[in-house]
Structure 1
Amino acid sequence: MTFEAWLTAIGLPSAAQAVAMRSVPDLEQWHQLAADESAFLARLAGQPKLALQVFAHLLYGEQAHYATTAAWVADGRDIAIWAADYAQKQGGIGVTENDWLRFTLVHQVVRLGRLQFEPWQPTAALGPLATGTQALQVHIPADGPLSPAACDEAFALAQARFGQLPLVCDSWLMSPALQALLPATSNIRQFQNRFQVVTVDPAAHQAEERLFGTWEANPDRYITRTTLQKRAKAWLQAGKQIGMAVGVMLPA
């Protein structure tokens, strides 16, 4: 697959593709530098277009790491997701979630179907998990519905790849407030119900950032379009919090 075809397959818009396809000087040095997290991130800081180019070229060069083309494309979709996020928030072309994209680049985080998984161990007891328990963190890419069937498939793929491990999700999607904001039939609530919520951070603003694209101290400033946005805004205007939480799913 050509570089341009791969950029199309991962969902990168044509304007962003034109930037990503520009040559990157010393590409092999960038590949080596990726192993040094702090140095790699320092070199990319404040350069969103360069970051887009570097991540696109380096992950394209990782094809040999993947057993299938589909898996290679699936990991690459993270670049398109964060390019879309940057375009929405900044109105330009580039990426700034460099620490997260580096996890994908060095295969610390892998996409399996609808979800992403990261081998992980808690450094302190977490609900039913003891310190040092081998587990998987679950991450939810922002590029599609969270249907129960798609999640079932992703969890089965993770089990096949990593074995029977506890799953941990640290996200606004675990917030207990969503039980009041969403109907029982919603995909998000059905996803949340798979987990046992073990810790809650009510003051976190990840929910607002994901729902509205930003956090505002005054919720009156939020623009709403979807039913969830309208309910969340009213909830916040009433002085309530959404926050985020950590959920744990033990092997069956």
Structure 2
Amino acid sequence: MRLSEFCKGIQLGEEACRIIFGFRLEEEEYARWKEHFRTDRHSFFRHVTGEAGYRQKLLYLFARFAVDAYEEYRMRGIDDRVYFDTFSDIRIWSEVCFRDYGEYGIEEYNWLQEHVSLRLFRLGRMQFQPMAFDGESLKVGNYLVEKHQLVLNVHIPEGEPLTPQEVIRSISMARHFFRGIPSVYVCHSWLLYPGLSQVLKADSNIMKFQQLFHIYESDEQSREAERRIFNRLEANPEHYGEETNLQRAAKALLSAGGRLGSGCGVYIPDMI
């Protein structure tokens, strides 16, 4: 896998590509950074983010790490489509970095370490991450989710609409991809906050997604919903924009003293 092929495969924008191909790093130095990442990630991130222009350096390094991960994908027999879809997060987060900081690069570096370590995969519209269930034992229908049992953590990257058809397609792909892991899907997200029913119609894609899950916990203090809906946080909700119906409804709720938090839920196909 060549770096140019990788950038084309994840549909990285022209300016972000220019940063990567214009970055000057000797191979010996790259090897040292890669080993530092492999052996002590906390120290690695501390050192990189202590440098000027660290967001661009992280964009370059994560692109290189992703290219290096391709051989492991091939050894595991994982399809190229899954590879490019998974690492399209580098494109997504480079664009988020431009939106939030006015420059292409990577700020969401802790998250992307999961991708290059082959601990997270995008299958269709959603991402899946094997993990030990960290809640207390939970009865869902006739199924008991045990504390510390292996489950699939679900993440929803920015992008295309979260239609019911795409959700079911992703779940079907995950059941095939993660053979041997129980089809127990756990999600911690603002999309599962029960109070969203105050700002969204019942037939919206988000509410249909939420209705799949048995919601077992809510976090009223989380402001993830505000960050995702408005792309920033404001102390005074009156300062939020009103460019979409969701923004207008959410702003009205928050301005009236309401809250938008997050929720934790479990989805077990054919058992709920």
TM-score by length of 1: 0.94
Q: Give the Å deviation of 1:112.
A: 0.9
Residue number among 193, 214, 221 corresponding to 1:196 in the alignment:
214
Residue number among 88, 93, 99 corresponding to 2:99 in the alignment:
88
User: Aligned partners of 1:173, 1:2: CA distance in 2, in Å?
Assistant: 37
Equivalent residues of 1:24, 1:54 under 8 A apart? no
Residue number among 148, 154, 167 corresponding to 1:151 in the alignment:
167
2:34 maps to 1:27: no
CA pair 183-55 structure 1, distance change in 2 beyond 3 A:
same
Equivalent residues of 1:34, 1:40 under 8 A apart? yes
- Structure 1 SS opposite 2:201: coil
Question: Could you tell me which residue of structure 2 aligns to residue 72 of structure 1?
Answer: 83
User: Aligned partners of 1:71, 1:65: CA distance in 2, in Å?
Assistant: 13
Which amino acid in structure 2 is aligned with residue 60 of structure 1? V
Question: Could you tell me which residue of structure 2 aligns to residue 6 of structure 1?
Answer: 6
2:51 maps to 1:54: no
Question: Could you tell me which residue of structure 2 aligns to residue 138 of structure 1?
Answer: 154
Equivalent residues of 2:2, 2:67 under 8 A apart? no
Which amino acid in structure 2 is aligned with residue 7 of structure 1? C
Question: Could you tell me which residue of structure 2 aligns to residue 43 of structure 1?
Answer: 47
Which amino acid in structure 1 is aligned with residue 25 of structure 2? V
List 4+ stretches of structure 1 deviating above 3 A. Answer: none
Q: Give the Å deviation of 1:251.
A: 4.1
Higher Cα Rg: structure 1 or 2?
2
Q: Give the Å deviation of 1:210.
A: 0.6
- Structure 2 SS opposite 1:8: helix
2:193 maps to 1:180: no
User: Aligned partners of 1:203, 1:193: CA distance in 2, in Å?
Assistant: 22
CA pair 154-238 structure 1, distance change in 2 beyond 3 A:
same
Question: Gapped runs of 5+ residues in structure 2?
Answer: 140-144
Which amino acid in structure 1 is aligned with residue 4 of structure 2? E
Question: Could you tell me which residue of structure 1 aligns to residue 118 of structure 2?
Answer: 107
Which amino acid in structure 2 is aligned with residue 40 of structure 1? F
User: Aligned partners of 2:166, 2:33: CA distance in 1, in Å?
Assistant: 35
- Structure 1 SS opposite 2:130: strand
User: Aligned partners of 2:153, 2:10: CA distance in 1, in Å?
Assistant: 23
CA pair 186-136 structure 1, distance change in 2 beyond 3 A:
same
Range with bigger deviation, 234-243 or 25-34: 25-34
Which amino acid in structure 2 is aligned with residue 157 of structure 1? M
User: Aligned partners of 1:136, 1:99: CA distance in 2, in Å?
Assistant: 19
User: Aligned partners of 2:8, 2:245: CA distance in 1, in Å?
Assistant: 32
User: Aligned partners of 1:38, 1:98: CA distance in 2, in Å?
Assistant: 11
Q: Give aligned pairs, total.
A: 252
User: Aligned partners of 1:178, 1:149: CA distance in 2, in Å?
Assistant: 21
Superimposed CA distance per residue, residues 29-62 of structure 1 (whole angstroms, 9 cap, x where no aligned partner):
3333332321222232251110000001110222
Equivalent residues of 1:135, 1:167 under 8 A apart? yes
User: Aligned partners of 1:54, 1:8: CA distance in 2, in Å?
Assistant: 17
User: Aligned partners of 2:269, 2:203: CA distance in 1, in Å?
Assistant: 24
Superimposed CA distance per residue, residues 108-157 of structure 1 (whole angstroms, 9 cap, x where no aligned partner):
11111111111111234054332112111100010211111111111011
Which amino acid in structure 2 is aligned with residue 56 of structure 1? A
Question: Could you tell me which residue of structure 1 aligns to residue 129 of structure 2?
Answer: 118
Equivalent residues of 2:127, 2:157 under 8 A apart? yes
Residue number among 228, 231, 256 corresponding to 1:210 in the alignment:
228
Question: Gapped runs of 5+ residues in structure 1?
Answer: none
